[in-house]
Amino acid sequence: MKTKLALIGGALLLSTSAYAADLPMEAAPAVVAVPSFSWTGGYIGAQVGYAWGDANFRAAGGSLSAKPKGWMLGGYAGYNIQLDNSPLVLGIETDFNWADIDRTRGAFGATAKTQTDWTGATRARVGFAVDRVLFYAAGGVAYADREVKVRAGRLGAKDNKTAVGWTIGGGVESAVTDNVVVRAEYRYTDLGKDTFRLAGVPVRSKYDEHPRDGGRRL
């Protein structure tokens, strides 16, 4: 676009000079190219999402599975760099979310509940920009609160861990204005295996999650 504007400006200047050779000379106005939108810079934002997952438990030779699900609400911050004269965008981002993700299972007069109260992640991002629209993929380390509770009559036990794993996903962002961007994203998170101790009994558990969220940043 800048090259085309410069050529048109040059042609107009030459034509005017040849046609009006006997008129007083005046300086031609400078042609200013409007800069295109850039994704370079820091940002903060808020997001809301829905998550569902698979939790598996093993203890004393038995096993139990559950599918927790629920809402998340939080914020994120990051920094992007769009390479010069390129649609390639590189960045890093971290987020933290309050969560209400749980599931309760009952059997033989007892109940077991798995619960997540917060989640977070720090990820590297790589994207492809089409002017004000950015398609991106992201991956990195994930962390979350995990709590397991069991109850049988008046007896109960619980334990919680800070689980650490990995996450990968992708999404699309759209710049509504120069300073406001909206986005939608899907990611897969594997929080690995942890051992919980419930009334002295070790319970081995694995958990993976599929959160989807939409956000808005400034």
DSSP 57-83: EEETTEEEEE--EEEEEEEEEEEEEEP
Residue ranges in the chain whose pLDDT is less than 70: 1-35, 59-62, 107-110, 153, 211-218
| pLDDT computed for residue 93 by the predictor | 97
User: Is the backbone of residue 148 left (phi > 0), alpha (psi -120 to 50) or beta?
Assistant: beta
Cα distances from 166 to residues 61, 79, 115, in angstroms, run 28, 20, 19
| pLDDT computed for residue 111 by the predictor | 77
Residue 217, token pair as written in the block = 């940043």
Q: Using CB atoms within 10 A of its CB, is residue 75 exposed (0-12), middle (13-18) or buried (19+)?
A: middle
Q: How far apart are CA 14 and CA 128, in angstroms?
A: 40
List of residues 6+ apart from 10 with CB closer than 8 A = none
Q: What is the pTM of this model?
A: 0.74
Residue 50 and residue 43 in contact, taking contact as beta carbons nearer than 8 Å: no
Residue 146 and residue 190 in contact, taking contact as beta carbons nearer than 8 Å: no
Q: How far apart are CA 108 and CA 178, in angstroms?
A: 59
Q: How far apart are CA 194 and CA 186, in angstroms?
A: 25
Q: Using CB atoms within 10 A of its CB, is residue 42 exposed (0-12), middle (13-18) or buried (19+)?
A: exposed
| pLDDT computed for residue 26 by the predictor | 58
List of residues 6+ apart from 14 with CB closer than 8 A = none
User: Is the backbone of residue 199 left (phi > 0), alpha (psi -120 to 50) or beta?
Assistant: left
Q: How far apart are the first and last CA of the chain?
A: 28
Q: How far apart are CA 44 and CA 102, in angstroms?
A: 28
Q: How far apart are CA 7 and CA 14, in angstroms?
A: 11
| Nearest in space to 85 (alpha carbons), one of 35, 143, 18, 32 | 35
